[in-house]
Every structure is written in structure tokens, then in C-alpha cells.
A = this chain, B = another copy of it.
Amino acid sequence: MRWKSNKRGEKMGHNANLISIDALTEAELRALITRGQAFVDGAEAMALPRHACVCTLFFEPSTRTKLSFQRAAQRLAVDLLSFDVATSSTSKGETALDTMRNIEAMGVDVFVVRHKEDGTVDALAAGAMPTTRFVNAGDGRSNHPTQALLDMLTLQQSKGDDFSRLRVAIVGDVKHSRVARSDYQALSLLGVEDIRICGPQALLPDPAEMPRATFVDRLDEALSGVDVVMTLRLQRERMEAGLIDSLEGYHAAFGITQARMTGAKADAIVMHPGPMNRGVEIEDAVADGAQSRILQQVRNGVFARAAVLERALSRAHE
């Protein structure tokens, strides 16, 4: 999970792919946050190569993330293609690599890829032409770097750009969550020292994956004095798989409610990557309340992704 290292990339000392947060330096991550904020504040995109083209290549359906990237591409006024492999009747047994290479040959500069298997985006990037860029729109349980970027942008808007003193709780199904992994990496890179992970035992990752984090059993303890609560979507499949007993039980133990939030700082903010299961991982009063930054996250998503695409496109033909 590194930046794609092709000869040109190495020579240039940078690479404009975004496959994982881990592959970014802190300076690169902060530059993306800053550029995202500039778009929020009304900046126009830089001039990009004529006929520059972004293609969303989704092997796993996600209308919401796709729309966000499409809107970001519109902000940049570049050409846009969309290929939904999941619903396409024409993949015809072709490999993901052949599919990508074919569309690449049509003149695509940046692929935005979602895939249900870990590492696929990296593998596609490794098989592409050296000038083609890749943005990971979510792969397996590993990475969702643009979600982490928009989360950091949202967090900075409320808490400023000194992340070092923040206390952050990540609550829920951390084990299966690429959002949580990418957020953990971004928080770490930005210097957050107090990262708490909280959820049912069966939904917790191997602590070795998140060495800087503190694993906390009880939600009250996790929320105590925090500045930020990041709650995660609970897939209903977890209950069917027997990993949790009931949605009601989950809500009682780990649902973010106004009552629970009294333990956090008075100005704590609540984030959720969407779509929400209202009444499961979060109650309406919090989701729609003053501490919620959930729609602000969505709004920032377009601008954060515009920053990522602009970075990729401005270097696509270097």
C-alpha cells in the first residue's frame, strides 16, 4: 500500500496517486486539506490539460461516493466517464486489469476505483501506464483515503490545524471498516496522540494494526472528555453473521446518544461517514443536532476530492 513507484514518479520524488493515507507525508496530507479548504472558500481549479479525463471505475456499487467524485470532477471542468462493473453486463469474464487497460487506452488520466478486495487499486495502478493516476475510492477493509481526507478537513474546520492535543473516539465496527483504518492513519499522521477505539469485542481489529490507539471497552470511557466522536455504519450483515446479538443491544451499548454525549467535551463534534442507520449507531437527536458535522462532511467531500483529482490531473502528464 505505497504510492505507485514508477520510474517517472521516483525521478520526480512524488507521486500523485492516492491509494492510502499511509503513503502520504504529513506535509502532503496537510497540503490536500489546505487545498480542499481553499475550494470550500471559493477558489477555482487550476488550469488542467485539455481533454483531461477522470473515470470512476466501481467494481462495488456506491452511488453516493460516485456522485461526490462526479461533482468534484465537475468543479474541475474535466471530462468524466463512469464504468460500473458491478452492474455491467459486459465485463464478460474479463479481468479487472484488462478492463482498466482498455478504458485507460480510451484516454483516461485518472481512475477513481472502488473494489471489494483489499489491494486491488494498488494492483491496477501497478499494471497501468506510468502517466495514469489512481485514486482509491475504497478497497476492501483497507483504505478509504478520500473519506479520511474529508474527515480531517471537517475536523480542522471545527478544531483548528493543531491536531496534537485532540482526543478522538472511533466507535463501532472498526474491524470491518476501511473508513476507520484510513481515519486512524490520518489522525496519526497529523499528530493526534489520544485515539480511542471502542466497539463490541467481535468488531474490534487486532490492536497491532493500530499501535497508537487505546482500546476501550465501555462507551462512556471512550467518550469521556473527547473532542471528536467518529461513529461508523453498522452493517446489518454483522448481526446475521452472529457478531452482535441485536441492533437494540448494539444501540444500548454503543449507540451515540445525547445522554452519552454528556460525557464528551461540551463542544465535541460527531461525525459519521454515511449512510446512517438511525436508531442503531446514532440517534436522531445527535445526527440532526448541533454537534453533528455529518452533512458538513458530505459537503467537504466534494472539495476534498476536487483537491485530490486536481493534484492527480495536474501531474497526470508530467
Give the interface of A toward B (CB within 8 A): 51, 53, 61-64, 67-68, 70-71, 74-75, 79, 81, 83, 86-95, 98-99, 101-103, 105-107, 274-278, 295-296, 298-299, 301-302
Asked whether, in the complex, the Cβ of A277 is within 8 Å of the Cβ of B53, the reply is: no
Asked if B67 and A106 sit within 8 Å, CB to CB, the answer is yes
Given A63-B83, A88-B61, A98-B276, decide whether A106 and B71 contact each other with a Cβ distance below 8 A: yes
Whether B64 contacts A71 by the Cβ 8 Å rule is no
Residue numbers in B under 8 Å from A91 (CB-CB): 63, 275
B299 and A105 form a contact (CB under 8 A): yes
Task: Known A-B contacts: A102-B275, A105-B299. Give 7 more (CB < 8 A).
Answer: A64-B90, A71-B79, A87-B89, A98-B276, A98-B278, A106-B302, A107-B299
- Using known A-B contacts A63-B83, A90-B62, determine if residue A71 contacts B107 with beta carbons closer than 8 Å: yes
Q: In the complex the two chains form, what is the Cα distance from A240 to B33 in whole Å?
A: 55
A83: which of B51, B53, B67, B93 is its contact (CB, 8 Å)? B67
Q: Which 4 A-B pairs have the closest CB atoms?
A: A105-B298, A61-B89, A94-B275, A105-B299
Q: Are B98 and A275 in contact (CB under 8 A)?
A: yes
Which B residues are CB-close (under 8 A) to A90?
61-64, 275
Cα distance, A71 to B82, chains bound together (Å): 11
Kindly identify which residue among B74, B79, B105, B298 contacts A53, using a CB–CB cutoff of 8 Å.
Answer: B74
Q: Is the CB of B53 within 8 A of A71?
A: yes
Q: How far is the CA of A76 from the CA of B302 in the complex (A)?
A: 23
CB–CB B61/A70 < 8 A: no
B102 touches A298 (CB 8 A): yes
Output the nearest chain B residue to A92 by Cβ-Cβ distance: B275
Assess whether B67 is in contact with A81, with CB atoms less than 8 Å apart: yes
